[in-house]
Every structure is written in C-alpha cells, then in structure tokens.
A = this chain, B = another copy of it.
C-alpha cells in the first residue's frame, strides 16, 4: 500500500519545477502524493510548520520534512501560521 506524501509549495518557480520533477514522478506504488498550495490553502501552513517544514517546496513523509532547494520561507507565506 503506498505511503502518504504531502508536497507543500507556494506556486513559486522553484516550487513548480520541483513539483514537475519529483512530485509527479514518484512511483504510485510507493507514494500517494497530496499537493498542497500554501498560498491557496494558508490554513495548512500551521500543519506544515508542525511537521518541521521551514521552506517550500518540501515533502513531508512519515512526519519528516524533506526540503528541496529553496523557493520561499514558510515564515514569509503569512496566512494562518
């Protein structure tokens, strides 16, 4: 059964690139990927922060954050945090 992975992004160019490169390229037998745009869903910023996400784009898998390059700091996204 695939594990859940959440890909947090904010629509920035670094984010979109990482989404295309990785979020859509993970093996569906390994991961079921949920893509969350924190600009459009600012109420989920707190959840991302609680998982240790410091910047986007980032994956959270099994409660652990995996930051891919640097698009934007979570603290700069504002919203619900």
Contacts and interface: CB of A to CB of B under 8 A. Distances in A.
A40 B4 CA distance: 33
Contacts of A69: 65-67
Sort chain A's interface into a size bin: 10 to 19
B68 A21 contact: no
Given A66-B69, A67-B69, A68-B67, A25 B30 contact: yes
Interface string A36-73: 00000000000000000000000101001111110000
Contact of A31 (B25, B59, B61): B25
A28 interface: yes
A26 interface: yes
A18 interface: yes
Contacts of A18: 66
